[in-house]
Amino acid sequence: MSEFIFKACGLAVTAAMLIALLKKWGADLAVFTKIAAGVVMAAVCVGAVAPFVGYVSELADLGNQGEILRAAEFMLRVLAVALITHVCANICRDCGETTLASYMELGGKIEIVLLSIPMVKEIISISVEML
């Protein structure tokens, strides 16, 4: 099992306990701690993508490098949009702006669909050629 999940869980539980303590002493400190913990957790999650990048490099050495690298670039972009959107939406929710968080998530979904259009076009053209 990956040690990433243990690090992430430990960090999240520690941050949650610290935030709970800080809420008793001052709500202002708790908000800043939430934001800082969110940024650190996002950095930890981005660091967990490193094995994926190594795997894609290995695949690129095996054969059709351009296609593999293009697919990997697409997946990394989608992952980045999803992570950024999720973090921003959670920050909006923590500030009490649930409607804004929902719109943020909608914007992220639209961006992922827009990123997918070139790949969908390519799949359709390959399908047409096969017929």
Q: Is the pLDDT of residue 127 over 50?
A: yes
CA distance 57 to 127: 27
Cα–Cα distance for residue pair 108/120, rounded to 1 Å: 18
In the numeric block, which tokens belong to residue 35? 């934001």
Of 107, 119, 55, 54, which Cα lies nearest the Cα of 82? Answer: 107
Instruction: Give mean pLDDT, residues 65-87.
Output: 81
3-state SS string for 17-78: HHHHHHHHHCHHHHHHHHHHHHHHHHHHHHHCCHHHHHHHHHHHHHCCHHHHHHHHHHHHHH
- State pLDDT tens for residues 8-65: 778 888 888 888 888 888 777 777 888 888 888 877 777 777 777 777 677 766 666 6
Asked if the model's pLDDT at residue 75 lies above 50, the reply is yes
| Res 65: pLDDT | 66
Is the pTM of the predicted complex or chain greater than 0.75?
A: no
Give the pLDDT confidence score for residue 72 in this predicted structure.
Answer: 77
Which residue reads 């409607």 in tokens? Answer: 99
pLDDT at 1: 44
Give the tens place of pLDDT for each residue, 87-124: 888 888 877 888 999 999 999 999 999 999 988 898 89
| pLDDT given for residue 2 in this prediction | 64
For residue 113, the model assigns a pLDDT of 93
